[in-house]
C-alpha cells in the first residue's frame, strides 16, 4: 500500500501525530496495538483540561478522532522497516506491506522490570513505574522506591513531599553525589545492600520483602530501573539512540535521518502525556510538510 506518512505506535504521541498529519490532507496510516500503550494503565489527573480520566478512555477516543480526520488505523506490530529508493518499506506481523514517504516513530518505551513475585499482579494496585504520575495517589501513605541510580533518588525526593514515609531500596547506590546529599539531608530512609525478593499484598500492595529477609510495610512500590526504547527499528533507519537510549530530535521532532520523525516517550524524559501529545503535534505537522515539499 502506498501512503504519505506512516506512524509507528498508537499511543498518545502517535495518535496526536496522526490527527495533525491527517488534517493536512496527506494519506496517513497509524500502526500499533493500543493495549501496549503506557496510557492503558494510567489514571490521568495532570493533563490540561482533564481533572481525572482513564488513559484508556482518552486513547480510544483519540484513535476515533484520528480516523475521523482520515487516518487509517491498523492494530498490528511493525516487524521490519527498510529505506527504499523513494521512502520507506514497512512490514507488519500480519505480513501487510506499506510504502511511505515519511515515518513517525512513536513506539514509546518499556520500563525495565524488577522481575519479582507480585510485581505484575500489583501493577496499578500499588506498584508504579512513574513517581511523577502516581505520587499524588500515595498522600500520607508509606512507600518504597527501588533502584540504584539518580532516577530512583529523584523519585524518592519527589515522594517525600507526599508520602508519610519513604524507603529507598538500593543494592549499590549509583546516584550523583549532589542527589545523594539531598537524600541524606531528608527523612528518606536508605535501605542498602539488598534487593527485593517479592511484593506482598491482597488486593493492593501491603509490603515488600528483601532478599536478606527484611520486610518493609508499604502501600506503594515505585520501580525506577530505567527503560528500554524501541531502538532496533530506529537503528534500521540510521537513527542512533543517545546514551540514555532515547532518540535525539530537533525542535520540530525531526531525527537526523531524512523523512524520519520521532515523538513521545521514545525521545526521552519526562515520560508524560502532555509532552507526548505536544511532540506528536510537532511530528505530525513536520511529517506532513516534508511530504508536501517532496511532492512539489
Ligand X SMILES: Cc1cc2nc3c(=O)[nH]c(=O)nc-3n(C[C@H](O)[C@H](O)[C@H](O)COP(=O)(O)OP(=O)(O)OC[C@H]3O[C@@H](n4cnc5c(N)ncnc54)[C@H](O)[C@@H]3O)c2cc1C
By CB under 6 A, name the binding residues for ligand X.
8-14, 31-34, 36-39, 41-42, 44, 46-47, 55, 77-78, 106-108, 124, 129-130, 133, 230, 233, 264-266, 271-274, 276
Query: Is 18 or 197 the residue whose CB approaches ligand X more closely?
Result: 18
Nearest distance from residue 153's CB to ligand X, in Å? 20
Instruction: Note whether 223 and 151 are within 8 A (CB).
Output: no
Residue 171 to residues 174, 190, 195, Cα–Cα distance (Å): 9, 10, 6
Query: Is 161 or 178 the residue whose CB approaches ligand X more closely?
Result: 161
Nearest distance from residue 84's CB to ligand X, in Å? 18
Residue 272 to residues 236, 275, 279, Cα–Cα distance (Å): 26, 5, 11
Nearest distance from residue 43's CB to ligand X, in Å? 6
Q: Which stretches within the chain are classed as H helix? A: 12-22, 55-68, 131-134, 150-159, 177-184, 231-236, 273-295
Determine the Cα–Cα distance for residues 58 and 81; give it in Å rounded to an integer.
29
Nearest distance from residue 37's CB to ligand X, in Å? 4
Query: Is 129 or 162 the residue whose CB approaches ligand X more closely?
Result: 129
Query: Is 197 or 255 the residue whose CB approaches ligand X more closely?
Result: 255
Nearest distance from residue 173's CB to ligand X, in Å? 25
Q: Which residue is nearest to ligand X (CB)?
A: 11
Nearest distance from residue 50's CB to ligand X, in Å? 10
Instruction: Note whether 8 and 264 are within 8 A (CB).
Output: no
Comparing C-alpha atoms, which of 7, 200, 186 is closest to residue 106?
7
Query: Is 130 or 200 the residue whose CB approaches ligand X more closely?
Result: 130
Query: Is 183 or 201 the residue whose CB approaches ligand X more closely?
Result: 201
Instruction: State the CB neighbour count (10 A cutoff) for residue 132.
Output: 15
DSSP letter for each residue of 63-100: HHHHHHTT-EEE---EEEEEEETTEEEEEETT--EEEE
Nearest distance from residue 148's CB to ligand X, in Å? 21
Instruction: State the CB neighbour count (10 A cutoff) for residue 229.
Output: 23
Query: Is 90 or 291 the residue whose CB approaches ligand X more closely?
Result: 90
Amino acid at each position: 500500500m502506498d501512503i504519505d506518512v506512516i506512524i509507528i505506535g498508537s499511543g498518545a504521541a502517535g495518535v496526536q501525530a496522526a490527527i495533525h498529519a491527517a488534517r493536512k490532507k496527506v494519506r496517513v496510516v497509524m500502526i500499533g496495538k493500543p493495549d501496549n500503550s503506557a496510557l492503558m494503565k494510567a489514571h490521568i489527573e495532570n493533563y490540561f483540561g482533564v481533572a481525572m480520566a482513564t488513559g484508556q478512555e482518552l486513547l480510544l477516543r483519540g484513535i476515533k478522532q484520528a480516523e475521523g480526520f482520515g487516518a487509517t488505523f491498523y492494530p498490528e506490530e511493525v516487524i521490519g522497516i527498510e529505506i527504499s529508493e523513494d521512502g520507506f518499506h514497512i512490514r507488519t506481523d500480519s505480513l501487510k506491506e506499506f510504502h511511505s514517504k515519511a515515518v513517525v516513530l512513536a513506539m514509546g518505551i518499556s520500563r525495565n522490570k524488577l522481575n519479582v513475585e507480585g510485581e505484575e499482579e500489583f501493577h496499578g494496585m500499588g506498584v508504579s513505574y512513574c513517581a511523577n504520575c502516581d505520587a499524588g495517589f500515595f498522600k500520607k501513605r508509606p512507600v518504597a522506591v527501588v533502584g540504584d541510580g539518580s532516577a530512583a533518588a529523584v523519585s524518592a525526593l519527589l515522594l517525600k513531599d507526599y508520602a508519610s514515609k519513604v524507603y529507598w531500596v538500593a543494592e549499590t547506590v549509583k546516584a550523583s553525589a549532589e542527589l545523594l546529599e539531598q537524600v541524606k539531608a531528608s527523612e528518606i530512609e536508605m535501605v542498602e545492600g539488598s534487593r527485593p525478593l517479592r511484593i506482598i499484598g491482597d488486593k493492593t500492595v501491603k509490603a515488600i520483602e528483601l532478599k536478606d529477609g527484611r520486610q518493609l510495610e508499604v502501600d506503594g512500590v515505585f520501580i525506577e530501573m530505567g527503560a528500554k526504547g524501541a531502538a532496533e527499528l530506529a537503528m534500521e533507519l540510521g537513527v542512533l539512540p543517545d546514551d540514555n537510549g532515547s532518540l535525539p530530535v530537533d525542535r520540530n521532532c525531526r531525527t537526523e535521518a531524512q523523512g524520519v520523525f520521532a515523538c513521545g516517550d521514545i525521545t526521552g524524559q519526562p515520560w508524560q502525556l502532555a509532552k507526548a501529545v505536544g511532540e506528536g503535534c510537532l511530528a505530525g505537522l513536520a511529517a506532513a510538510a516534508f511530504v508536501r515539499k517532496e511532492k512539489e
